[in-house]
Amino acid sequence: MQTLRNLIGGRWEDSTGEDVLTVVNPATEEAFARFGAGSADDVDRAVAAAVTAQPRWAGLTVTERVERLHTWADTVLAHATELAELECREMGKPIGIGRSFVEGGVAALKAAAAQALTYPFTETVTGPGGDRTDIVRHPLGATAVITPWNFPVTMVLGALGPLLAAGNTVVVKPSERSPVSTVRLFELAELAGMPAGVLNLVLGDGRTGAALTEHEDVRLVHFTGSVAVGRQVGAATGRRLRRCVLELGGKDPVVVDAGVDPVATARAVAFGAFVNTGQICTSMERIYVHEQIAEEFVKALVAAAQTFTIGDGMEPGTVLGPLVDERQRDTVRRHVEDAVHKGATVRTGGVVPRRPGYFYPATVLTEVDDTMLVMTEETFGPLAPVVVVPTFEEGMARAAVSRFGLAATVYTDDPEHIVAAARLPAGVVWVNQWQGGGPERLYEPARDSGMGATGARASYDAATRPAAVHVSATPASAGR
């Protein structure tokens, strides 16, 4: 059994907390790693290490910081397969998919860090009479990043680029369900020569996360996770008058218009609903399809679902890994049972396979209505609930009814409907594609899905504190 440790100020240390947590392979149900849950004392020392290291890190030039981050990113890329294997063991993701997301995370880290080279850390404005105002954007200091289990490596890399390139130091607390790949990520940071104390790691569960969000010296908390915990993080940072960026859950709709290719679109929707076993914050979780193509679309969606072969993600040919744990599978089962009880039809899937591991098949539901849990609560599992609508407008109207507002997707060839897509209340709207967008992407989750704009310049605005310095054009000696 592997033992995991915290990284505090450049030293790997056992947690001083008494509780020991284990990491279980969801494909086999076997525990393979253990660690002590980080105590408030561990958090305190990690934050102190970040505070101590910060002035020196901020004292490097932007170019030097970006170079360090790029070296780390290259080291991570060289170990992408190993990291994908670790993610597979700790949370079930098939290694092919895992590797592509690790590569995506590396690209995001590099692109975000490179944006520091053009970000205006100092801007000068000259006013009437020649007075000058310098807007100086200072790093915040020690910051915290708290991540969920569904993309352990990508989530850490995605959050860190702007925070570190702007001159902040960080304490990371990964999910207790998938900390193994994050530990390796930090070993690789050491290997790449990241200075001690710039990146600190404290392992643990919600109690450790709460100690971090409550810490007086943490200037910003970048939190990715559920709405329920996001509210607690927002409340804790609000009490301390500190910043937070909250990237939370979703219940993303898809509107499929008449006139699109029903088979190709169904395949795209199957991918959006089932990849990573539906455990993506922007998974397609509500599908509204125009009645003109509904029959062909559902037939193709069922056929596509049946190609998502269940298995251990380490085995070649596995498309659908297990859910992360029994609790997550219970949520999926409960949502399907609720839908069936209220009149939905299971068109494929819906039965837990008899084998070890937290598996659940790719499942298509029809005769679904908007009162069912599959349409109101985040499922985070391989479900595709389909509602047939008589018009595109009705699909759009029903897609807009949700307490979530993370992302939305529209498939249409109608130019007016493409324009209408932008009106969906979501941070990201994809049209005839899913998951697209480069480093210039700028968005803020709508409704309960979070707060704080990220991407492009906004991530640097969040990672820095602007201060105005007004310099008079009149010399101080002028009045003598």
Q: Which residues are catalytic?
A: 247, 281
The CB-of-332 to ligand NAD minimum distance in angstroms stands at 13
**146 near ligand NAD, rule: CB under 6 A:** yes
- Say whether residue 325 binds ligand NAD (CB under 6 A): no
Burial 45-67 (b: 16+ CB within 10 A, else e): bbbbbbbebbeebeeeebeebbe
Token duo for residue 82: 């190993």
Which single residue brings its beta carbon nearest to ligand NAD? Answer: 209
Task: Give the three-class secondary structure for 274.
Answer: helix
- How many Å apart are CA 17 and CA 403, to the nearest integer? 37
Contacts (CB under 6 A) with ligand NAD, residues 147-166:
147-150
Stretch that binds ligand NAD, among 14-22, 37-45, 172-180, 314-322 (CB under 6 A): 172-180
Among 210, 362, 368, 384, binds ligand NAD (CB under 6 A): 210
Of 101 and 411, nearer to ligand NAD (C-beta) is 101
> Smaller CB distance to ligand NAD: residue 101 or 149?
149
Q: Are 457 and 111 in contact (CB under 8 A)?
A: no
User: Which residue lies nearer to ligand NAD by CB, 211 or 410?
Assistant: 211
Which residue, 205 or 338, is less far from ligand NAD as judged by CB?
A: 205
Distance from C-alpha of 37 to C-alpha of 31, rounded to nearest angstrom: 16
Of the residues 25, 39, 224, 237, which one makes contact with ligand NAD according to CB under 6 A:
224
Tell me the CA distances in angstroms from 385 to 251, 271, 335, 452, one per residue in order: 11, 14, 10, 30
Q: CB 212: neighbour CB atoms within 10 A?
A: 28
Report the nearest approach of ligand NAD to the CB of residue 155 (Å): 6
For ligand NAD, the binding residue among 113, 165, 281, 426 (CB under 6 A) is 281
* Residue 13: CB minimum distance to ligand NAD, A: 19
Instruction: Give the span between the Cα atoms of 145 and 31, in whole angstroms.
Output: 26
176's tokens: 């207790």
Q: Is 49 in the site for ligand NAD (CB under 6 A)?
A: no
Closest distance to ligand NAD from the beta carbon of 230 (Å): 7
Using the rule CB under 6 A, which residue among 26, 141, 209, 452 binds ligand NAD? 209
List the one residue from 16, 28, 52, 232 that touches ligand NAD (CB under 6 A).
Answer: 232
| 233 touching ligand NAD, by CB under 6 A | yes
Extended beta strands in 432-475, E state: 446-447, 450-451, 464-471
Q: For residues 149 and 411, which CB has a smaller minimum distance to ligand NAD in the complex?
A: 149
Token pair belonging to 173 = 């607390």
Would you give the binding string for ligand NAD spanning residues 416-455, x where CB under 6 A is met? ----------------------------------x-----
Shortest Cβ 276–ligand NAD spacing (Å) = 10
Q: Does the footprint of ligand NAD cover residue 248 (CB under 6 A)?
A: yes
Residue with tokens 């595709």: 384
Residue 105 sits in the site that holds ligand NAD (CB under 6 A): no
Which residue is it, tokens 């690790």?
Answer: 102
Residues 365-384 that bind ligand NAD (CB under 6 A): 378, 380
CA quadruple 473, 476, 479, 480: dihedral sign = negative
Which tokens sit at 206?
């919600």
H helices within 135-218, ranges in order?
152-165, 180-191, 206-213
Strand-pair partners of 389: 290
Tokens 């807009």 correspond to what residue? 400
Cα distance between residue 450 and residue 448, in whole Å = 6
Minimal distance, residue 364 CB to ligand NAD, in Å: 21
Q: With contact defined as beta carbons under 8 Å apart, do 347 and 365 qualify?
A: yes
Q: Which is nearer to ligand NAD, 230 or 311 (CB)?
A: 230
Instruction: Provide the sign of the torsion angle of the four alpha carbons 266, 270, 272, 273, taken in this order.
Output: positive
Binds ligand NAD by CB under 6 A, chosen from 225, 262, 311, 322: 225
Nearer to ligand NAD, 115 or 213 (CB): 213
Which positions touch ligand NAD (CB under 6 A)?
Answer: 146-150, 173, 175-176, 205-206, 209-210, 213, 224-226, 229, 232-233, 247-250, 281, 378, 380, 406, 450
